[in-house]
Structure 1
Amino acid sequence: MHIESLYRYPVKGLSPETLNGAHLAPGRCLPWDRAFALAQGDAAFDPENPAWVQKSHFMCLARNAKIANLKSCFDDAARRLVVTAPEGQRLEADPFTPAGQDALTAFLTRYLGAEARYGANGKAPRFHHFPNHSFCDHKTQVISLIGRGSLAALEAAAGATRDKRRFRANIYIENIEPWAEFAWMGRHIRVGETVLEVQEPIDRCAATSVNPDTAERDANPVKELQQHFGHIELGVFAAVVQGGEIRPGDEIALLG
């Protein structure tokens, strides 16, 4: 088994970025993964205490399919985030400064249109970043992995291609049997220089129905998983217990 491809998703819900490598740290997610998010105005999210809340409190694919048409690019060295709309509108901003966050808030809120939600007293959506915080779907910072064998099994059962980008994993694993990763629960795997503890399978949601190229809801992988396999799980979450470098092509081995 080895890493087929490696991705991060700097802005929650927006486009993936392919990586040639990454440095993982114990207890942390992949660097800059879900580092930014647009909280809806009615979100139960406290910027003074940025704790985990469910994805529905943010701009997300599960509720806002149209955002699949936004293309984002984050340059962490230059501290710049670029977001481009399908009609060509483009914003480049510093996502770490109040001015940059204001600009990103306005751009994304305009794009959402009627899907932008407002809270009590007209509280508006707000773009956020907090050092060392990740707006991931898990209550703790983890790495998500999907075996290409499991995805191939789903495609065969559905009788159709299911683009891997629908599932928004960090690591895709090549040369692995279907559903083999589900046998790793509570065990450790070596990935490149790192060691991860596999914690739980990933329940899939309505975000997977969105075509990453067209932003149309043109498939139902959740229903397909339930119908053909009796569950709605694809991929696993794992915590980093020993840090180091990982890159595409690195071997993956089950320990112990």
Structure 2
Amino acid sequence: MTCHIAALYRYPVKALSPQPLDHAVLEVGGGLQADHRYALAHGAGSTAGAGDVVTGRLPRSSLVTLSDCPKLATLVTRFIEPLNVLTVERDGRQVTRGDLTVPIGRAILEDFFTAFLRGHTRGKPRLVIAKPGETFANHERPGVVLINRSSVSDIERVVGQPVDPLRFRANMLIDGPSPWAELEWIGREVRVGGGVVLRVVAAMPVHPAAEVNPQTGAVDLNLDKAMKQGLGHDTFGILCEVVEGGQVNTGDTVMVA
């Protein structure tokens, strides 16, 4: 079966804006460079200090998530990788920016999120950094999350309204396969472009963050219930481990072995 990459995204800071990419480097045993590298941790009930390099996975309850704080979707954040700078826009206007790698830069950003999320977090939010080889993604196993846009269309049929693929916070969107064909790829290898090889290791459960409209921040869909009733399952997207790394590009061919 042959298909192609329709879009690539990474999420530099957990729960904040996706970053569309024309190309990305996939790392063996990991995922996209800088994907879910940073996160906001609750100030109370967490052992992670501001700017800490986290040496083990923090429990989900320690992190600020989109499902718990859906108003985060109303912000537009941009990660400027060469500078390690995060900018934050609200209502079309930049409201703050800071270097994620230095204490003063993180402090500026933390002050903004403290005010913006007042009443939604435990203590002052703190920016934390994943150690090399780890991420703050929902899946414990490092890798790339892939979704099939025709499966998104089938979900739209079930719920009776448009469904933005960005709800699912995947890394790679593909065109070509029939709806749900990707769920049959578990255990198989996928070759992307000129030499990147992925191995499909698991189907992904629909995460509560997918109930949040990525444009408005409204919790406006119960996808778990709708999919169970209309499709008989609530899995969507697949997790792939990187077997052979390299650069992938939008438009690249994707072939399933």
**TM-score tier after normalising by the smaller chain length:** over 0.9
Answer whether contact 2:168 2:207 (CA < 8 A) is retained. Answer: no
Q: CA deviation at 1:147?
A: 0.6
Pick from 205, 210, 220: which aligns with 2:207? 205
Alignment correspondent of 2:24: 22
DSSP-derived class of the 1:108 partner: helix
The aligned amino acid for 2:154 is: A
- Is contact 2:5–2:253 with CA below 8 Å preserved after alignment? yes
TM-score scaled to structure 2, two decimals?
0.92
**Percent identity among equivalent residues?**
35
59-68 vs 127-136, which deviates more? 127-136
Distance of 1:87 and 1:80 partners within structure 2: 18
Q: What is the Cα deviation at residue 45 of structure 1?
A: 5.1
| Matched residue, 1:121 | none
Corresponding residue of 2:140: 139
**Considering only aligned residues, what root-mean-square deviation do their CA atoms show, in Å?**
1.6
Q: Distance in 2 between matches of 1:176 and 1:82?
A: 37
1: CA distance, partners of 2:160 / 2:201:
30
Aligned residue in 2 for 1:184: 185
CA shift for structure 1 position 58: 1.3
1:241 to 235, 243, 247: 243
Question: How big is the shift at 1:43?
Answer: 4.6
Contact 2:190/2:199 (8 A) holds in 1: yes
Aligned-pair distance for 1:191? 1.4
2:33 corresponds in structure 1 to 31
CA gap 1:223/1:233 in 2 versus in 1, 3 angstroms: same
3-state SS in 2 of match to 1:115: coil
Q: What one-letter code is carried by the residue in structure 2 that aligns with 1:251?
A: T
Counterpart in the other structure of 2:98 = 93
Paired residue total: 250
Q: Do residues 55 (structure 1) and 60 (structure 2) align?
A: yes
Distance 1:94 1:65 in 2: 24
Change (3 A) 1:164 1:54: farther
Matched residues in 2 for 1:162 and 1:155: separation? Answer: 6
Deviation at 1:114, TM superposition (A): 0.2
Instruction: Assess if the C-alpha contact under 8 Å between 1:145 and 1:171 holds in 2.
Output: yes
Contact map agreement 1:150 1:177 (CA 8 A) in 2: yes
Counterpart-to-counterpart distance in 2, 1:65 and 1:176? 32
Identify the residue that residue 127 of structure 2 maps to in structure 1.
127
Contact 1:6 1:170 in 2 (8 A): yes
Partner of 1:113: 118
Between Structure 1 and Structure 2, which shows a larger proportion of strand residues?
2
Q: Given the two structures, how large is their TM-score scaled by the length of structure 1?
A: 0.92
Say which SS state the counterpart of residue 221 (structure 2) adopts.
coil
Structure 2 unpaired stretches of 5+: none
SS where residue 199 of structure 2 aligns? strand
What is the SS of the residue equivalent to 2:240? strand
Alpha-carbon distance, 1:56 to partner: 3.5
Q: Deviations over 1:150-183 (max 9, x none)?
A: 1111111211111111111000010111111111
Q: Deviations over 1:178-221 (max 9, x none)?
A: 11111111111111231011011111122111111111111121
Partner residue, 1:8 = 10
The residue that corresponds to 1:196 in the other structure is 198
